[in-house]
Chains A and B, each alone.
Chain A
Amino acid sequence: MKNNNNIMKTTYIFTGLFVLLAVYLVGYIVLQSKKDINNTYNKRQDILAQKVVRGTIYSNDLKPLAMTKLDENNEEYRYYPYDELFCHIVGSFDKGQYGLELAYNFDLLTANSSIVQEVVAEVNGVKLQGNSIKTTLDINLQEICLNALGDYEGSVVLMDAQTGDILSMVSKPYYNPNDIANIWDDIKNSDNGILINRATQGLYPPGSTFKIFTLGEFIDSHKKSYIDYSYNCEGTIKFADFSMSCSYKKPHGNVNLVNALSNSCNCAFVNMGTMIDAEVLNKYCKDRLFNKELPLEIMYNKSQITLSNSDSEFIKCQTVIGQGETLVTPIHMCMVMSSIVNEGILMKPRLVTEILDSYDNVIKKINAEKYDQLYTVGEADILKKYMREVVTNGTAYRLNDDKIYVYGKTGTAQISTAGKADSWFIGGIELDDNTKYAIAVVLENINENTSPAIVVTKEIINSLDK
């Protein structure tokens, strides 16, 4: 019987393997599976929807932005009390999913119930109530931002720089998600990208707003001498086979770094560009989230920059003033701005603060957290000071206000359509009560030589003051 001992040992090993399988499976179901099944590739959402009533999406003061209602035939439908106001960020649900409806699909379709409750509900043929989410979205601010956009197409993003909370996110053109079934054919056939959330997915040339990166890198690589920088702007700067101009070819005369930025002097920045290594600038931008994934739960595109030493002089000159191949999203610009406002610290953009069960008990809290340090405190301070000059003494002088401390950078980006441009403002807004906002505004297809983004920002700032 000597072999039996070896057989027993083999048996222990295999029994261990089977127990391991069972333990792993239970562990997977309890700890990991809820996260995994929350995926657009999982085609079982309809199955869950048969068992669970989709939860509510709330604003930051717990007003419903999206909810499930019953019609006269006791059929469920999704209702959006604010019509088009939140159509991109909250999203819609019936014809493909978008926005938070998509990002939190499984949370909304998951009931926070015990096993017993689940069994009882299933046996009785009753649906369980799905969890709800409390967002950071502020109805009042969202209305202000949407109204300020007026007839323009484009986007506004407003963030609380100290927490990363996205208070408002507007994208136009918009649609009414309550009507989506009726207007779906029009939407499908239109080519204006009405379903695209321009705030996160829209890629725009940054125009002169890019100068904060050129300026930042210039300061970074000339730490001792940048204070002494000066340049005599004649309205045009000539190279061997091309030349670059300031707007209206208006000479700015003798400029230092401060008024080069406040007057958005192209010639001075092109001149600075010749003193910067292209690849170092490229890396500087990469460190500030160009070409990088963003910590966002909703769909977005990555901002793009490609600059290398092998690029032509022309491309380099174009890039340092925000033309050329560079493309950015409004959310990215707002995030960069928020880190400058917040002493260099970028807070992780937050859209949802709490997950609530059907009795509005908090079952999960999502805390504000630091995501990255984009600037040192010193660098953020200098950029803030320079951008303040843009408001007090430069291209954004119309935003100068005694009561509200505003700073930022304007931009007008030429696009392929002749005579048309995109108008930008990115900046920081600080109120007396120590609230600090970061804002990014972009308007599409405006007439060249106007800067309506400032007008829109002005309207938002005025409303914030109330």
Chain B
Amino acid sequence: MIDAIIVSIKYAIIFLMAIYTYESFRAIKNIKNEKDIVKQKKFCFKQSFLFFIIHGLMYTSIYLHTFQDKIIIFYGAQLIYFLLLIEISKLYCKYHNRQLLNVMSMMLMIGFVMLTRLSIDKAYRQFLFCVIATIMASGISYIMKKIKNLREYHYIFAIIGIGALCAVYAIGRVTYGAKLSIDLGFVSIQPSEFVKITYIMFLSGLLHKVQNWKTILLSGILAGIHIVVLVLSSDLGTALIFSVAYIFILYMSTGKLYYLFGGLSLGSAAAYLGYKLFYHVQVRVAAWLNPWPIIDDKGYQITQSLFAIGTGGLFGLGLFEGIPNSIPVVDQDFIFSAISEELGVFFAICLIMLSLNVFLIFINTALKCQDNYYRLLCAGLAVIYGFQVFLTIGGAIKMIPSTGVTYPLISYGGSSLVSTIFMFFIIQGVKINEKQQ
């Protein structure tokens, strides 16, 4: 009997997720009149409704596998968090973007579910960080409103960013061959996650006005210093994201295609140089080209990921029915494979589409901006988010070499979670301050 319920829930989740994804795309629409606003509200209500059903089904399935009371309590806590998030936003911020809030909740929830399944202690930690980050982030739109000349402080953001990265280089702790985090005793933080935001703020602050060759050269030098320090710390995944973000922001602010093509060719040359210089880049490229002969060591992680995705198939093995923990670092770099294994490729494709949805909402916000600074800020954050998602999924499915970056909002990791929530709230802040409909 229980088996039958679990299986039914599995298929119900896939079905509802497909509808949810479809509705999310229908909800992105330019609003022209009052009728559109009513329609939009209907879509968002439907989204929330589906969200809470999927959330409930997921935790029912988890409970039916574990029969632990703490699961129910944890679910209850999450429910309160998500309800408060929606209701408080409705009450205090008339102009917030409800769709973005909905999709963010969905991503967070998928992360909580997968972490509950992989390691419940990590799920607790993740949830705690999420609550703290949300409380902190709720002040963002207020700060953006009060400090009008935020854009003038681009030098300060550049200095903060470079300083933080240098600190990691100097006293950082080494994980998987890269210097990533600074240990503060009670908690260790990964500054590069936060520098992603200051980096975009500095670039959009510097480049939003009419540019001359001096500002462009200056932006190049400062961005270059960020990237070089990251490379020195062997944090090559983040260095790659920063490089790509710089190229696209430069292109979007100047409209000169030769920046895009020149930058991408220069980047390819740098990537080749990195391949020649760094042993662990060579390892990852070798594992990408053909992992099967080296399945015992270098190819182990990616082949385990492919086994997980392949064995899971279109519908997945079901929560707790697979063995996602056989993939090394599954809760960070390879969370997508775990999702695909247990919830299925259909679900995973919905997740890819939802990530695209997030990217498009960021872009949509940018397009509607009157203020060029905000426009660049939103578009820059969109590029950071979109490219990171591309790298983590592409690496997990062996479309590109694995770069060791995490899935924003879903992978385990406090710094990444907090900084991504900040990013989402900055987008909300732009929308609220511009009073966009």
Contact = CB atoms under 8 A, between A and B. Distances in A.
Nearest to B341: A44
Contact of B397 (A19, A21, A122): A21
A118 interface: yes
A25 B345 contact: yes
A2 interface: yes
B326 interface: yes
Interface string A1-31: 0111111101100110111111011101100
Contacts of A2: 255
Interface string B298-320: 00100110111111011101000
B219 to A, nearest CB: 16
B386 A25 contact: no
A125 B3 CA distance: 7
Nearest to B14: A119
B310 A3 contact: no
A28 B356 contact: no
A88 B393 CA distance: 43
Interface stretch (B106-114, B147-155, B183-191, B359-367): B359-367
B322 A21 contact: no
Contact of A123 (B11, B345, B367, B387): B11
B311 A44 contact: yes
Contact of A18 (B308, B317, B386): B386
Question: Which of B255, B307, B308, B353 counts the most chain A CB atoms within 10 A?
Answer: B307
A6 B180 CA distance: 33
A38 to B, nearest CB: 9
Contacts of A7: 252, 363, 366-367, 375, 379
Contact of B367 (A4, A41, A124, A125): A4
B85 interface: no
A220 to B, nearest CB: 34
B8 interface: yes
B63 interface: no
B397 A123 contact: no
B360 A11 contact: yes
A256 interface: no
B310 A33 contact: yes
Nearest to B303: A41
A22 B310 contact: no
Contacts of A25: 309, 340, 345, 348-349, 352, 397
A67 B214 CA distance: 77
Interface in B286-339: 292, 295, 300, 303-304, 306-311, 313-315, 317, 321-323, 326
Given A7-B366, A119-B11, A14 B359 contact: yes
Given A118-B315, A123-B4, A37 B307 contact: yes
Interface residues of A, number: 41
Given A21-B390, A33-B306, A41 B295 contact: yes
A385 B29 CA distance: 84
Given A3-B372, A25-B349, A20 B255 contact: no
A125 to B, nearest CB: 6
B289 to A, nearest CB: 15
A122 B7 CA distance: 7
A43 B326 contact: yes
Interface of A: 2-8, 10-11, 14-15, 17-22, 24-26, 28-29, 32-34, 36-37, 39, 41-44, 47-48, 115, 118-119, 122-125
Interface of B: 3-4, 7-8, 11, 248, 251-253, 255, 292, 295, 300, 303-304, 306-311, 313-315, 317, 321-323, 326, 340, 345, 348-349, 352-353, 355-356, 359-360, 363, 366-367, 372, 375-376, 379, 382-383, 386-387, 389-390, 393-394, 397-399
23 contacts: A2-B255, A3-B255, A7-B366, A7-B375, A14-B359, A18-B353, A18-B355, A21-B397, A21-B399, A24-B397, A25-B349, A25-B397, A28-B398, A32-B310, A33-B309, A36-B303, A39-B307, A42-B307, A44-B307, A44-B311, A119-B315, A122-B7, A125-B7
